[in-house]
Amino acid sequence: MDGRGTALYAASLDPIHYGHINIALRASRFFDHLIVAIYANPQSKQMLFAVEERVALAAELFQKYPAISVASYSMLTVEYAKSVGAIALVRGLRVFGDFEFEFRMGMANKKLAPELETIAIMSDEPYMHISSSTIREIAQLGGDVSSMVPPSIANALHEKYRQHKSIALCQGG
């Protein structure tokens, strides 16, 4: 380790996609350790995958990167960051609209934890259009998401929606 510290890349990752992976891999070059932290219970979102599934899927994708670990948390992000000794929060920017949201969030985090820096990394161009909600919608309708997610995630999505259809049919929906 060369003293660059630990950073936290917090997201819901429902599902994780190539844009998330790109940001994590690029951020990991600047820190000794990057924790991909999956928020366990976002109040404002209906999750497709349980937190345990999201952690397992992400951990599988990052297993060959020793500087990246995956964890879940259920507290205020800055509190979790402090509890793991993080010095920075990593955020990804895709489109201009992301900047305003991330700017406000970064300023709020700075008020709550002045010792933490927020590092925003612009998404590489091939991933700027990708969002988890778009991927879920395409997969739910049986579309091809292979250009947006790794094969293991595409398979997990199609299996999850196959299960949902089976449940709906059994319930008369």
Positions marked active-site: 20, 45, 94, 132
CB 147 within 8 A of CB 129: no
Rg (CA), the chain: 17
